[in-house]
Amino acid sequence: MKILDLINENPGLLLFLQHFHIDFSVNNSTVGQLCKQYNIGVKAFLSVINLYNGFFPDREEVDNINDVNSILVFLKNSHSFYKDEKYPELKYYLNELKRSSQVKDIELVEKFLDDYFEEVLEHLNYEDQVAFPYFYSIIEKAEHAKKANTFSVKEYLDHHTDIETKLSDLKNLLLKHMHFNNDLNTLRKFLNSLFGLESDLKIHSAVEEKILIPLISKMEAA
């Protein structure tokens, strides 16, 4: 499979590549060649890329992944994307709507968005500061990780929440109850950004729940 063909079939894979820090100039590289160039396990790469095409990995596929580091790189880069790009982008469009539309109760939308991202940031910071360092220590088979019993993947799973779910409430609020007839252009951009965020967050959660957690659980038990 050539990466260029896959991108042409699904342009959403550009974001997938960005999460892996892969340059978009893929030339005529196949999946195997690109993975070798960027030192990414092919099975890890395929398991994640299939999520962008709507296919979930089965347990056998996950068990055969031997590159947990790349999965963590993907997730950490996703965090940066949500914090540094998506939230500022949504805030920008919302401020434009406030300025141009004077819609009643738009402050409710702003408060919902701010409260939502406060929850998202709490979730991402917990992963970056608590869960991921532990996962790296398990991967590296550090002695303190073997001996430590203050954290485990079970605790991570108990703390894990579907941070994408509440976006449906925000979209429904906008699509059902608010009218922006004089600035549909900005509203469309805002909604497209919301839909894009929701889609990528669903994939992010699937990577954690269907791939990362089973792999770390298996390593803990080894």
Give the model confidence (pLDDT) of 37-91 as tens digits: 999 999 999 999 999 999 999 999 999 999 999 999 999 999 999 999 999 999 9
Q: Which of 20, 86, 82, 85 is nearest to 49 (CA)?
A: 20
Task: Compute the distance between CA of residue 65 and CA of residue 47 in angstroms, rounded to an integer.
Answer: 9
Among 28-37, 60-69, 183-192, where is mean pLDDT lowest? 183-192
Task: Compute the distance between CA of residue 55 and CA of residue 6 in angstroms, rounded to an integer.
Answer: 14
Q: Which of 21, 13, 74 is nearest to 49 (CA)?
A: 13
pLDDT band at 156 (very low <50, low <70, confident <90, very high): confident
- DSSP for residue 182: G
pLDDT band at 107 (very low <50, low <70, confident <90, very high): confident
Task: Compute the distance between CA of residue 175 and CA of residue 12 in angstroms, rounded to an integer.
Answer: 24
Over the chain, what is the mean pLDDT? 88
Same domain, 90 and 31: no
Q: Find the mean pLDDT for residues 4-13.
A: 96
Same domain, 117 and 137: yes
pLDDT of residue 143: 47
Same domain, 87 and 58: no
pLDDT of residue 142: 52
Q: Tell me the residue range of the domain where 41 lies.
A: 3-62
pLDDT of residue 148: 54
Task: Compute the distance between CA of residue 69 and CA of residue 104 in angstroms, rounded to an integer.
Answer: 48
- Cβ neighbours, 10 Å, residue 215: 22
Same domain, 102 and 206: yes
Same domain, 126 and 163: yes
Among the three residues 31, 62, 93, which one is the final residue of a domain in this structure? 62
pLDDT of residue 168: 83
Contact (CB, 8 A) for 77 and 209: no
Same domain, 22 and 114: no
pLDDT of residue 211: 96
pLDDT band at 10 (very low <50, low <70, confident <90, very high): very high
Contact (CB, 8 A) for 55 and 91: no
Among the three residues 62, 78, 93, which one is the final residue of a domain in this structure? 62
- In the chain, the number of structural domains is 2
Per the DSSP assignment, residues forming a β-bridge with 2 are 30
Residue 2 backbone phi and psi in degrees, to 5? -90, 135
Same domain, 119 and 44: no
Same domain, 22 and 77: no
- pLDDT digit string, tens, across residues 164-177: 777 888 888 888 87
Same domain, 54 and 74: no
Per the DSSP assignment, residues forming a β-bridge with 30 are 2
Among the three residues 28, 43, 62, which one is the final residue of a domain in this structure? 62
Q: Which of 190, 212, 214 is nearest to 203 (CA)?
A: 212
pLDDT of residue 103: 67
Same domain, 48 and 94: no
Task: Compute the distance between CA of residue 116 and CA of residue 89 in angstroms, rounded to an integer.
Answer: 15
pLDDT of residue 179: 74
- pLDDT digit string, tens, across residues 134-153: 999 888 875 455 555 567 88
- Cβ neighbours, 10 Å, residue 189: 17
Stated pTM of the model: 0.90
